[in-house]
Amino acid sequence: RYGPVFRTSIVGHPIIVSTDPELNSLVFKQGADSWFKPWYTDSFSEIIGSESLMFHEGFLHKYIRGLVRERFGPDSLKSLLVDLEGRTRSHLGSWSVLPSVDLKEAVSVMLHGFAVEKLYSFSDPEMIRGHKQSYDAFLRGLISFPLNIPGTAYWKCLQGRKWAVKTIKKLMEERTESPRMGERDYLDFVMEEIDSSESPLTEKMATDLLFLLPFAAFESTSSTIVSAFHYLTAHPAALAELTREHEGILKRREESGSGGISWREYKSMTFTHMVTNETLRLTNIVPGIFRKVMKDVEVKGYLIPAGWTVMVYPTAAHLNPSVYDDPLSFNPWRWEGQKVNSGSENFMAFGGGSRFCSGAEFVKLCMAIFFHHLVTKYRWDVVKGGEPVRYPGLIYKDGFNVNIFEKHQHQK
């Protein structure tokens, strides 16, 4: 009854759940004649924004992906590396003088602050704090029952979005009235696109894009970093190998007299990238990927009716014992000699096809910088919590409080 492809119902919608690599690969092929189109509930569309990147196809989807890569693609990340490293060093240093920190919240705050600085040039602490709180409310109600009554999680989620969008629109109005002089940020770039006669970007599309990007930048990235921290703490051999890699990089840099992390060094962090992939494989940040069936499709003897929805379930692929030996174990060495920078039918942490996550490189870069400074300069102890639950992203119900201290210091 429940083989690799089976049917069920989710919130009243007929769903085909697929754990089959061949069907998953077919679903991710997003050409103009694709049988499968992105699908989300009406309430999710209202929360995310109906003109968000997630809802567009074809030319518009490709165009907006290009806008995202303008800030989070490899070429842009090279220019952001120094600032990202500086922020990481500063936050780790500030955490090391505290009795303990809630790691998930601390990393989220760090990455959110970096994102809104580079996107909007936010600098006022109160503004940044209020902006982060609006996204916290947004996350808590992201997959809640769509009951728009004051006090419900869904209502709070919509209020969080409303506050964030209001802030974005106010910023856009201010930039229109008084264009900034000097260094341009991402908001300047987007507004130039809106004004360009050759651009299809509308104000609504821009607003939804500017709303989604900070959330995408800090939430999934912080979950990945904290999950890796959790696994490495529980697996000393992997932590020791990661430390050896980064101490070797640090030693060579000191001998050459160079400064911070270079892009070449980042790309050379082989074991770090293996840790990232293994963390993503086990963590499964995205629990399901939905596609609407546009016409009857027959695959491997299965007839999938038009109008139904297919849910690709990455967890099944990532924990498949015929592909991954001892799949529940954290084993970064399983990625040795394999391509660790792309997706496949057996590894879908960043989606696949034309909808492969535009921010994948950003996640990997944040991981590399964070652990480079963590393992070469600090030690830590878990004070409390650390067991994740999904709601809908990863949260730590009892927190994840850690005591971080410099290597030459005694435990606080």
Q: What is the pLDDT of residues 113-168, one digit of tens each?
A: 999 999 999 888 998 999 999 888 888 777 677 888 998 988 998 999 999 999 99
CA triplet 246, 247, 251: central angle to 5 degrees?
Answer: 120
Q: Output the pLDDT for position 166.
A: 93
Burial of 54 (0-12, 13-18, 19+ CB in 10 A): middle
Q: Output the pLDDT for position 390.
A: 65
User: Residue 189: inside a domain, yes or no?
Assistant: yes
DSSP assignment of 190-227, as one string? HHHHHH-TT----HHHHHHHHHHHHHHHHHHHHHHHHH
User: Residue 11: inside a domain, yes or no?
Assistant: yes
DSSP assignment of 129-150, as one string? HHHHHHHHHHHHTTTS----ST
Q: Which residues are annotated as a binding site?
A: 357
Check which CATH number belongs to the domain holding 333 and give it.
Answer: 1.10.630.10
- The number of domains in the chain is 1
User: Residue 411: inside a domain, yes or no?
Assistant: no
Q: Output the pLDDT for position 18.
A: 87
Query: Residue 317's closest CA among 20, 27, 28?
Result: 20
Predicted TM-score of the model (pTM): 0.91
Q: Cα–chain-centroid distance for residue 288?
A: 14
Q: Output the pLDDT for position 129.
A: 92
- Whether 357 and 374 have beta carbons less than 8 Å apart is answered as no
* Residue 249, phi then psi, degrees to nearest 5: -65, -45
Query: What range defines the domain where residue 91 resides?
Result: 5-406
Token reading at 147: 């009951």
Q: Output the pLDDT for position 246.
A: 98
Q: Output the pLDDT for position 329.
A: 96
Residue stretches of the chain with pLDDT short of 70? 1-2, 11, 30-33, 143, 340-343, 390-394, 410-412
What's the rounded Cα separation, in Å, for the pair 28 and 23?
9
CA triplet 273, 275, 277: central angle to 5 degrees?
Answer: 70
Q: Which residues are annotated as a binding site for heme?
A: 357
User: Residue 412: inside a domain, yes or no?
Assistant: no
